[in-house]
Structure 1
Amino acid sequence: MSDRCEHEPLLRLLFSGAPASGLRRLLDSHATAQAAIAAGARDWASHGLAAPACNAIRTPDAAALRNAADWLQAPGHHLLGWRDADYPPLLRRIGSPPAMLFVAGDPARLWRPAVAIVGSRTATAGGCANAGQFARQLANAGFCIASGLAAGIDAAAHSATLEAGGVTVAVLGTGPDIAYPTRHQTLLERIAATGAVVSEHPPGTGPLRQHFPSRNRILAGLSLGTLVIEAALRSGALITARQAADAGREVFALPGSIHNPMARGCHHLIREGAALVESAQEVIDVLSPSVLELARALRGELDSVPIQPLAALPAPHQDNANYNRLWPALGHDPTGMDELEERTGLTVAELSAMLLTLELEGRVVAEHGRYCRIGG
C-alpha cells in the first residue's frame, strides 16, 4: 500500500483530469508523487499535461480530496500508484495501464494468476450454471477468478468462487465503494473481505457508460486469460476479449446452441481464433505454462532486490536472502499476510511473488488468504 503521506499528492494528480499516460510519465520522472507535485507547471507540461490539468494540480478540489482521503483511512482501503511496489505486474504490461488503482481488500490478490470470466448481463440459466462450474473448478485449481460484478455471468462467477472458498477480484467501472447494479452491494463487500475490489475511479464515482469499456482493459490486463461464457454480438464481454488478445493473453469461449443469441458472440470469437473450450481442465492446461513463466518472472524481480543476506537456512532457494527471511516466518499453522509482513519486513509484493512460487512448487499451501508450510 502507498504510504499515507503519498496519498494527497497522488490524489491531486488523479483529480487533475490528466490522462493516465501523462501521469505515468510524470511519476516515472520523479522519485515520489510529492516530488512530481513540487516540480512545477513547466515540468508538468513537459510530460504532456495540458493547462487545465496543471491548474487543477495547483488548486485541487478540496472536497474531492477529502472524500477520497476519508475512504482511504478505513482498514483494507488502498491507493496504488504507478510506481508503487504493490502495483500488479501483469497490469503494467498492457498498452494503457491506469496511473493509479483504488483497492478495497488485499492488494496481494492482484498478483495471483487469474482467469477473467465474463459474459452477458442477461445470461441464460444454463450460462450462469456454466460460469459457476468453471469458476469453482478454476478456483480449486488455484486460480483467482476476476470479473466485473455485473449481473448475469459476472455475478455467477464471483458467487461460485466465494462458495468454493476461492479468491475472486471484482474490477469496477464505478468507484470502489459503489456496486453496480446496486443489489450487488453485499456481493461487493464479500469480495472485498476475502479478495479485492479494484477501480481506477475514486470513491463516490457513479456508473457512467463511458467508464465500462475502459474498465474492461483492467480486467483483461490483470488476467492471464479471459473466458467468455455467453455473449451477444454486441457485448462488453467481446470488448474484454479483444483487449485480452491485444495484450497477448489467452482468450477462451464456450460454444452454444445456434438458436441461442447469447452464443453468437462466443461463436464469433471462436471464428476469430479464440480457443473453444468445453471444460475447465482445457483452460488449466493452456494457462499452466503462463503461470510458471509468471512465477519465474516474479522470482527474477525479487532476486534483483539488494537485501543483506541472513545466515543460510535449511529452506528452498537458500541462495536468496528474501526466501531466507520468509521461510522461518512460515509455520505449519496458517499465517496471514499482515503477520508475515511484520515477521519478515518484506513488502506485500515481495511476499506474494515468493509465496506463489512456493505454492507452485508444492512447498506452501494457501487457504483463505493464510499460508503454511508443507513438510519440513
Structure 2
Amino acid sequence: MKFKLWLSGLMEISNAKKKLLYDCGITAEKLFFMSQNELKDIRFFTDEDRKLVKKSAESFDIDKEWSMFLQKDINLVTIEDKEYPDKLRNINNPPYSLFYIGKLPDKNRKCVSIVGARGRSAYGCEVTRALSRALSKQGIQIISGMARGIDRDAHLGCIEAEGSTYAVLGSGADVCYPRENRFLYDKIRLSGGIISELVPGTGPQKMFFPMRNRVISGLSDIVVIVEAKNRSGSLITADFAMEQGKDVYVVPGRITDPLSYGCNRLIKQGADIIYNIDEFVSDITMTRLTECTQMDFRKNLLDKKEALVYSLLDFCPIGIGTLSQKVPYELAELFEILNSLINKGFVKESISNYYIRSL
C-alpha cells in the first residue's frame, strides 16, 4: 500500500494515465522500481512523465512517508484494490485513489446524492432535510459535498434519521472546509465517511471542486438537485451525472426565483421532477410498503381539524392570515390547532405567525 500512497501523490500524472497503468498490469510498486529503459516501454508516457516518475521514486522516502501516513486517522483505497467503489471504476476519468476517514459507501446499498445552492432558501432547507430523512429511513445512503446550504442540509437530514451519509471534499480528507462545518464534519465521520481524492493536508482550491463533483455523482445511483442558480456548481454535478448515465432529479421552483433557474432549466433538458417526496422514495426503492410505517402511524394521530390544516401547509412558509381564509375556524381555534401540530412535530413556526411542514 505504501507504493500506492506514492503514486497517489504524483498529481502530475493524470488519473487517466494511472488507470492505463492499472489496465496494463503495471502496479504502483512495479512502477516505483522501473528503470529509465523500462519506463520507455510505457508508450502513453511522455519523456517528461518518465523523468518525473524516476526523479520522484529516487527522492521519495517511502518508508518514512508511509510511517507518517499511518499515524493519521486516514484510510487509502486505490483502483488496484477490490474495496474501490465499483460505481467509480467505469466513469470517465475515475480517481486513482480515495483517501477517507470513517467508511466508504456500502456497495450493496443504494446511494443518492443531494446537492444545491449554498445560499438556499428556507423552502430549499426544509425540502432537503425532509427528503434526506425519508431516503435514510429506507436505508439509502446520502452523499453530498459538505458545502454551506443544501449540502449541509442533506447531511443533517440523514444524521437526524440515523442514516449513513458521506461527504466528498474539495480538499484533503483531513481538512475541514468550510471551517464552520466542523461539528458536521465530526458527525459525518461517525455516521458514514469523509472522502477525497486529494492527498491529506491539501487545502481547498477552486479547481478542485469540479473534480470533487464528478466523484459525488460517480458514487451515486441518483443525483438530486434542490436549488441552483443559472451558474452553479450543482449544474456541473448534474452534467457529470448525465455523462455517467445516472438519473437526475430536480425539485422544481418558481420561475421568478433565481434559485430555481438551474433546476427548471434541467427539467427543460429532460431531468425528472420530484413532486412528492413519499412517491419519489417509493419509486426509487422499487418497493411499496404494505405495512403501516411509523410516519403512517403518526398521521393517524391527527384529528380531522389537524389533518385539514396540515394538508394546507407546505415547505414554503404560509402566514396565519392566509391560513385563516382557507379554514372554517376562528383565529383562536386555528392557533390551538397549529400549536397542537407543532407539539406533535408536524409543523414549525419558521418566523412569527408563518408556518411550514416539518414532516
* Corresponding residue to 1:70 among 49, 68, 71: 68
1:94-243 equivalences under 5 Å are: 94-109=91-106, 112-243=109-240
Q: CA deviation at 1:198?
A: 0.9
Deviation per residue, 1:300-335 (Å, 9 max, x gap): xxxxxxxxxxxxxxxxxxxxxxxxxxxxxxxxxxxx
Task: Show the counterpart of 2:51.
Answer: 55
Task: Show the counterpart of 2:15.
Answer: 20
CA distance in 2, matches of 1:172, 1:128: 21
| Partner AA of 2:170 in structure 1 | G
CA contact (8 A) 1:101 1:198 kept: yes
1:332-371 equivalences under 5 Å are: none
Q: CA deviation at 1:228?
A: 0.4
CA distance in 2, matches of 1:263, 1:151: 17
Q: Please report the TM-score for the alignment, with normalisation by the length of structure 1.
A: 0.70
* Corresponding residue to 1:30 among 25, 28, 31: 25
Matched position secondary structure for 1:169? strand
* Farther-moved stretch of structure 1 (59-68 vs 12-21): 59-68
Matched position secondary structure for 2:194? strand
Q: CA deviation at 1:257?
A: 1.5
Deviation per residue, 1:152-200 (Å, 9 max, x gap): 0000110111121000010111100112211112211221122011111
CA distance in 1, matches of 2:240, 2:233: 11
1:39-54 equivalences under 5 Å are: 39-44=34-39, 46-54=42-50
Structure 2 unmatched runs, 5+: 288-359
Structure 1 unmatched runs, 5+: 1-5, 291-376
CA contact (8 A) 2:134 2:281 kept: no
Matched position secondary structure for 2:114? strand
* Farther-moved stretch of structure 1 (22-31 vs 55-64): 55-64
| Partner AA of 2:186 in structure 1 | E
CA contact (8 A) 1:110 1:222 kept: no
Task: Show the counterpart of 2:278.
Answer: 281
Answering whether residue 11 of structure 2 is matched by residue 11 of structure 1, we say: no
CA distance in 1, matches of 2:137, 2:145: 20
| RMSD after superposition | 2.3
Matched position secondary structure for 1:35? helix
CA contact (8 A) 1:134 1:279 kept: no
CA distance in 2, matches of 1:278, 1:173: 31
| Partner AA of 1:21 in structure 2 | A
1:43/1:29 Cα in 2 relative to 1: closer, same or farther (>3 Å)?
Answer: farther
CA contact (8 A) 1:18 1:53 kept: yes
1:197/1:72 Cα in 2 relative to 1: closer, same or farther (>3 Å)?
Answer: farther
CA contact (8 A) 1:22 1:47 kept: no
